[in-house]
Structure 1
Amino acid sequence: MNGFKKNGFAILNDFYSPQEVSEMVLAIENAMSNRPTFRRSNDLFAIRQVLKEIPQLIKLVLDEKLKKLITATFGENYFVSKSIYFDKPGNSNWFVAYHQDLTISVRDKVLTNGFGPYTKKQDQFAVQPPVAFLEKNFTVRIHLDHTDESNGALRVIPASHLAGIRRMEQVDNMSTEQFCCVNEGGIMLMHPLLFHASGKSTAAQSRRVLHIEFSNQELPAGLHWSERINYQ
């Protein structure tokens, strides 16, 4: 996985079998709800804290293969710090401009040196931590559909995570932009400081993704992760 350290992302296709993907999809479909963490529009269906809302997903997602990969690539003592399910329907106009993932999810708003500013979405607090926190975190994106340029595959700027927190206009290697096409059952590992974006969908094919963030760091006194799952 040297490519991850250099480029800020890596793609592993055929990580989950078709049967495993089907079981994940079935668990999500059976849990569709009107709770505050479930957000639905014509262009997007999302579930925040999806592993808490649908706990049967935990054993399906955090299987021995993924645990071994995480340990071999990043080391011990990691835990889930955030999970979201995204369903981008076919022909969706929803898009996300280039950005870095600069916040973590916490239970309450607590004024803490080095942490801020805060935001709040659907009763969920998010705060920007010191950059040292972000540099050790990573994300696993599990693709439940084949994803390519036509249905909103991520675009990334390889190695853009190496210079810390920046504004988009400070990125000088835009010519290296790459589409991250991932097969159904494949996963994408991503550094939070990697600049990434997602375009509108031009095909009828949905793009369903489980976005799982991991950390190995304890928060200062008074702050608590809003969604911590110790799986090891």
Structure 2
Amino acid sequence: MYEIYKQQLSENGFTVIEQVFSADVVNELISLIDNTDTNHPLFRKTADLFAIRRFLNVIPEASPIIFNQQLKNIIHTLFGSDYFTVKSIYFDKPGNSNWFVAWHQDLTISVDQKTEIPGYGPWTVKPDQYAVQPPVDLLENIYTIRIHLDDTTTQNGALKVIPGSHKKGIIRPSSIDLQNTPEVSCEVAKGGIMIMQPLLLHASSRSTNNQNRRVVHIELSNQDLPAGINWAEKL
């Protein structure tokens, strides 16, 4: 059933699967989020963005809703039965947002402490967590699931991606001739998911239609980290 998605993920670095969550389930998640105290230290709220770091730690009631049987089947079929959650973020890009994200790859992982380990670096410090760039082979085994709580289109900042760029290792965006490189806009309906690999070059534009774009971002891996550090959010 999911073989076409597995093939797309391997060849292009991303795939979109619609109708993974019903409207009722999406509304239940939104209600949980709306009823959480926004003064929590892991919340970030500005005019252009509302985000919750360590989303599944802050709102653990969301976990059994998100990991329904269909999503579990997708994970086991596309990734493998040994994958576990290593990072979770919720973000809301308001409809009047002027926020955009330039072309980039997701090159860091979240860990519990800073320890000098060969092949790991540079490091950055964020509230209550450390982020570090690991070796490329570890990044190649991470998958990101983006759960869409709104209809996401080019008008409200759907991700743009460069298919196949995940196969080229670490890329400096400045080295890409973006004018002559095909890109795809990943439009996803409410309740659908986009799956991508961190090394896929991606970007997003400003919103132009005054409609929110709310997404739950979950990263999964099947890799153990070297002695001295642990995944910050292993679930």
What is the percent sequence identity of the aligned residues? 52
Structure 2 residue aligned with 1:147: 152
Report the RMSD for the aligned CA atoms in angstroms: 1.1
8 Å CA contact retained: 1:105, 1:225: yes
Q: Point out where structure 1 has 5 or more consecutive residues left out of the alignment.
A: none
Q: How does 1:130-141 map to 2 (within 5 A)?
A: 130-141=135-146
Do residues 82 (structure 1) and 87 (structure 2) align? yes
The answer on 1:190 being equivalent to 2:206 is: no
Q: Which residues in structure 2 correspond to 1:1-232 (within 5 Å)?
A: 1-171=6-176, 174-229=180-235
Shift of 1:170: 2.9
Q: Verify the 8 A CA contact 1:16 1:185 in the aligned structure 2.
A: yes
1:25-56 per-residue CA deviation (whole Å, 9 max, x = no partner) reads 11111113212210000000000000000000
Pairwise CA distance, 1:91: 1.7
| 2:118 partner amino acid | N
Structure 1, 166-175 or 8-17: larger mean CA deviation: 166-175
Note if contact 1:160-1:171 (Cα within 8 Å) is conserved in structure 2. Answer: no
Q: Work out the number of aligned pairs and report it.
A: 229
Q: Which residue of 1 aligns with 2:3?
A: none
Gaps of 5+ in 2: 1-5
Equivalents in 2 of 1:75, 1:32: separation in Å? 36
Confirm or deny: 8 A CA contact 1:10 1:190 kept in the other structure: yes
Alpha-carbon deviation of 1:176?
Answer: 1.1
Structure 2 Cα separation of the partners of residues 63 and 126 of structure 1? 29
Q: CA deviation at 1:123?
A: 2.9
- Paired residue secondary structure (1:105): strand
Deviates more, 1:55-64 or 1:118-127: 118-127
Please give the secondary structure, in 2, of the residue aligned with 1:34. coil
Any idea what SS the aligned residue of 1:101 has? Answer: coil
Residues 97 and 42 from structure 1, CA distance in 2 versus in 1: closer, same or farther, beyond 3 angstroms? same
Q: Given that residues 91 and 151 in structure 1 are in contact (C-alpha distance below 8 angstroms), is that contact kept between their aligned partners in structure 2?
A: no
Q: Distance in 1 between matches of 2:95 and 2:209?
A: 6
Bigger shift: residues 171-180 or 106-115:
171-180
Letter in 2 for 1:211: H
Instruction: Quote the offset at 1:172 in angstroms.
Output: 5.2
